[in-house]
A and B are shown apart, each in its own frame.
Chain A
Amino acid sequence: MASNDLTIIDFTIEMTEEQMCERMITHICEIDNIKLRQGHALSEYNEKKKLFRSWAIEKNVLLTNKYGRTFDDLLRVCDLIKPDFVIVDYIQMVKADGMDKKAAIEDYLIRIGELAKDMNFGVINISQLNRGSASEDKSRPHIHHLKWSGVLEEFSDSVILLSWDSDANEYTIYVEKQRHGEVGKIQVKFMPEYNKFREFTLKEKGEMMENKR
């Protein structure tokens, strides 16, 4: 994701640091994630380890499941580390100390927005969609499906929604809000074994055009 001199903090609140690191290994080295989890990928890892080690060691990627479990702690860590980029996975998992959750998220978004502007770093807040969205409109998610949508929408420069077609193993990425550019959508292929998106090949694009006729 980043060039070598950037510091990224990934607050992986839902997963452990090891689980997130394993996902990165499968993604970068293209090692099947089930084989890796079951411990059958050592020789494959050894063949490809240079690739991952150069990526992991050269880049300043910090993973944490221990910090950032509350909004105050998350902001404290950002203030301490002075990162270039922050990923919060995911925002509804962060605990609010003595505050209503919606008010706490609003307060957090204002404070991290100010901090990000002052310290010049970017933030990706990952959010759940309301469960109702799947039954209400099966074709695609909309911005109002974001849990506590008003607050998230208001305080974000960009809002990107993912929609998964499990039969075709394809995702549609919708750019629903873009303060500094265009909105739109793009379809990508998903490779679940590597936790990876890829663009369609020319052959696949041709087949899609044929099917539309």
Chain B
Amino acid sequence: MKPAHIKEILKKIIANLEKKNEKADKQRTG
């Protein structure tokens, strides 16, 4: 076990952004 490379953390952030964006889109379109 060792500290995570930034690209691994980036994957999590982008997945989270996509989720939030999808939710916002749904709210916009009702």
Contact = CB atoms under 8 A, between A and B. Distances in A.
A37 B29 CA distance: 22
A98 interface: no
Contact of A67 (B3, B7, B10): B3
Interface in B1-30: 1-7, 9-10, 12-14, 16-21, 23-24
B12 A18 contact: yes
Given A57-B7, A61-B5, A39 B20 contact: yes
B24 A21 contact: no
Contacts of B18: 42
Interface in A11-56: 17-18, 21-22, 24-25, 36, 38-42, 45, 52-53, 56
Contacts of B4: 17, 62-64
Given A22-B13, A39-B16, A56 B21 contact: no
B10 A52 contact: yes
Contacts of B21: 39-40, 42
A39 B24 contact: yes
A80 B7 contact: no
Given A62-B2, A63-B4, A81-B2, A21 B10 contact: yes
A109 B28 CA distance: 54
Contacts of A56: 6-7, 10
Contact of A61 (B6, B14, B17, B20): B6
Given A39-B24, A81-B2, 4 more contacts: A9-B3, A25-B10, A62-B4, A63-B9
